[in-house]
Amino acid sequence: MKYVNQPVRKKDAMSLVTGKPVYTDDLAPKDCLVVKVLRSPYAHAIIEEIQTDIAKKLPGIACVLTYEDVPQKRFTMAGQTYPEPSPYDRLILDKRVRFVGDAVAIVAGEDEKAVEKAMKVIKVKYQVLEPVLDFRTAKDNPILVHPEENWKALCPVGADNKRNLCACGLEEHGDVDKVIAESDVVVENTYHTKAVQQTMMETFRTYTTMDTYGRLNVISSTQVPFHVRRILSNALDIPKSKIRVVKPRIGGGFGAKQTVVAEVYPAIVTLKTGRPAKIIYTREESLTASTPRHEMEVKVRIGATKDGHIRGIEVKTLSNTGAYGEHGPTTVGLSGHKSIPLYSKAEAFRFQYDVVYTNRMSAGAYRGYGATQGIFAVESAINELAVKLGMDPVALREMNLTREGDVMHGYYGETAGSCHLDRCLERTADMIGWKEKYPRRVMPDGKIRSVGIAMAMQGSGISNVDTGAVSIKINDDGFYSLSIGASDMGTGCDTILAQMAADCLDCSVDEIIVHGVDTDISPYDSGSYASSTTYVTGMATVKACQTLVDKMKAYGAEKLGCDAKDVEFDGEKVYCLKDEKRSISRKDLGNEAMCAAHNALYATEAFSSPISPPPFMAGAVEIEVDPETGSVEVLDYAAVVDCGTVVNPNLAKVQVEGGLVQGIGMALFEEITYDEKGYVAENSLMQYKIPTRLDMGRLRVEFDSSYEQTGPFGAKSIGEIVINTPAPAIAHAVYNATGLRFTELPITPEKVAMGLIKE
């Protein structure tokens, strides 16, 4: 391996660091109409009357659209493979508004000032309804979020709009009640994780134009270009063949851009007016009308023998999907599927869940996708179990954790084919100095230093669903073009897939050019989500390169006049095994394939996996608590990850570090709070505090790679797992420092200080 496992610089890096105009708003035509959305001030209301006459007549206004102007077929904005598990519960504009910030009207004009002026003169008469704001009371509440008759669920996910249910389900293995009843020690607790925002630096944005062929062109900051095409076709009720989606560079996604949050608005304006249109979400819109993490309440029950063998695990999750069901039925699954199987030696488990609609901002995909919430709960419960057993939490985990070859009943019965979780845990404990530092030390100034630990897993793509296809061709003078449908969102998939291709083709990574996603040109890919790109699209890359090599060998053999099985390709030339002097160079192959050729030296392959091999990791934190103020400072975070073969050590490491800091934010600062009318308090980065470089202490990351036989070069995934350990590890450290057990996030200084006073 010349390039795989090397810290290759990202192909687009120098453009990005020198500020080149490569993002959506930099590329949008200068004569674009500016599109804005008038939003509901009520959490639940019916629009009785909406007057737009005056607004339409204002200078510079191109169009004003209301619910009367949009197709009446419901759709979902969730970027998922068809048929989407998320219910079809949306219209572009609806007579019923379901959260504060829901879309009421679309206004497009020549500039921002004209549009803002027009928005002020639109008169809306609302019939204000009582909202359902508390997700604990939503199920079977007489107030329905989606009473409409044309609501529909395409998949059997247990959804019922007449019960405010977006999904429900039950999975079990063995008799968990019996096993827990027989257990010597039982822990039982309820954990609450709130909605948090992905807060990518580039907010949601899209521009649309009509092209030469009368087709709608959509240039969007998205993780899911092919899903955008289908969703827009559904929303606008036009054929998919009429839509082209292009992804430029995108300024971060973290799952937010796996939902089609903004695309419909400029798209319908361009369809109605024929003119280019763009929407740039403000940060306020991105914080109040977007797609944050699902709030979840997770009840955990774990039974163990008195010597620490875990016998049964029960997880019951209540998830809040908010006003619409995007990713509701699927995120909840991971709260059990990615937490219970960390301890596959348990004889029995049960996982039960409800996902409910409320009149809050619609939730969506955020890195971790339910696993983060479930792992906070289960790992916190394991730390409580250690206390109850009087055992060291590391020793308890060592005794029970999933090891290579174990069958994970809680994970579709998959076998852990590649798993260094045991080694990750051991090394993480060493790195943080567990033996010396657990549980706490009181410093001379009265501050308390303590440590906490947690483990995590995730998947690598969605088994039997995610599909990645890759095309590769040789060009004149022998350079290669790699076309992928996976969205590079800054994480570097354009580069790591080129690294893989370079090793498959035995050439330099610079000899491979990569084309980003254009749905007219690129081979199909489900998109960059579910930790799928390295594993799924990576395997498609390996397959496509193998096919191209076979084609080049056949072509070369023909030119050399020998049998295809008697030639070899060494990266530079195809040569005859029986007479190595007879050869044709890659350069000549490329050139000859462009003159009087009968075969295209072009290969396209797709890959989908029947399994989703989990990456595993352990994370440990050292914190300092000031008992006077309740402040919790992260001093040091150690993490060891088994993502299989590390394709690009630099990019993988930065993924881990970035994920850890997002997890630290979720544990300590980030919170979305609603008032009794359903208003979000944190509507700017003044209130919604993400970690700065002064808030994260020191991060130390290592890899302990197993080899995943089914993955490209032995690789699994890295993108999501990395956000899962900070919340439980920090909550554990706070307990070790103060004796206060926090089951709700974030753990703010107020909560710690007030808790200590109560003690």
Partner 1 sequence: MQITIKLNGKQVTADVAPDMNLLNFVRSQGCYSVKCGCETSNCGLCTLWMDGKPVLSCSILAARADGHEIVTMEGCQEEAAEFGAFLADQGAEQCGFCSPGFIMNVLALFREYEDPTEEEIKEYLAGNLCRCSGYEGQLRAIRAYMAYKKGGESK
Binding site for partner 1 (CB under 8 A): 7, 9-10, 12-23, 26, 113, 198-203, 249-254, 282-284, 489-492, 648, 650-651, 653-654, 656-662, 684-686, 690, 692-694, 696, 698-699
> Which residues, 6 or more positions from 390, have their beta carbon under 8 angstroms from its beta carbon?
none
Dihedral sign of CA atoms 576, 581, 586, 588 in order: negative
CB count, 10 Å around CB of 740? 18
> Do 474 and 586 form a contact (C-beta atoms < 8 A)?
yes
Return d(Cα 108, Cα 58) in angstroms, integer.
Answer: 11
What does the alpha-carbon distance between residue 458 and residue 724 come to, in Å, rounded to a whole number?
Answer: 9
Per the DSSP assignment, residues forming a β-bridge with 289 are: none
**What tokens appear for 307 in the block?**
């010597």
- Please list, in sequence order, all residues whose beta carbon lies within 8 angstroms of the beta carbon of residue 566, skipping any fewer than 6 positions away: 557, 576, 577, 578
Count the helices and strands in the chain (H runs, E runs).
19, 29
Q: How far is 69 from 52, CA to CA, in rounded Å?
A: 12
Minimum CB distance to partner 1, residue 488 (Å): 9
* Among candidate residues 46, 129, 671, 674, the one with its CA nearest the CA of residue 360: 674
The residue with tokens 């096993």 is 179
Burial of 321 (0-12, 13-18, 19+ CB in 10 A): buried
> To 10 degrees, the CA torsion angle through 728, 640, 345, 466?
90
Straight-line distance from the first to the last Cα atom of the chain, in angstroms, rounded to the nearest whole number: 58
158 HSE (CA, 13 A, CB side): 16
Report the 3 state secondary structure along 654-698.
Answer: HHHHHHHHHHHHHHHCCCCCECCCCCECCCCCCCCCCCCCCCCCE
CA 384 to chain centre: 29
- Tokens (6 digits) for 228: 């955008």
Q: How far apart are CA 715 and CA 535, in angstroms?
A: 6
Q: Is 379 helix (H, G, I), strand (E, B) or coil?
A: helix
Angle CA(318)–CA(319)–CA(323) in degrees, nearest 5? 135
Rounded to whole angstroms, the Cα distance separating 495 from 652 reads 12
Closest CA to 726 of 456, 400, 529: 456
Which backbone phi and psi does 449 adopt, to 5 degrees? -105, 135
Tell which residue, 111, 113, 93, has the closest CA to residue 102: 93
Calculate the dihedral angle through the C-alpha atoms of 18, 19, 22, 26, rounding to the nearest 10 degrees. Answer: -160
| 626 phi and psi angles, rounded to 5 deg | -95, 110
The alpha carbon of residue 146 and the mean position of all alpha carbons in its chain are separated, in whole angstroms, by 26
For residues 302 and 186, the answer to whether their CB atoms sit within 8 Å is yes
Q: Yes or no: say if 449 and 633 are a contact pair by the CB < 8 Å rule.
A: no
Alpha carbons 548 and 226: distance in angstroms, whole number: 25
The b-or-e profile of 240-277 (16+ CB within 10 A means b, else e) is eebbbbbbbbbbbbbbbbbbbbbbbbbbbbbbbeebbb
Token pair for 362: 């619609």
- Token reading at 569: 């390709």
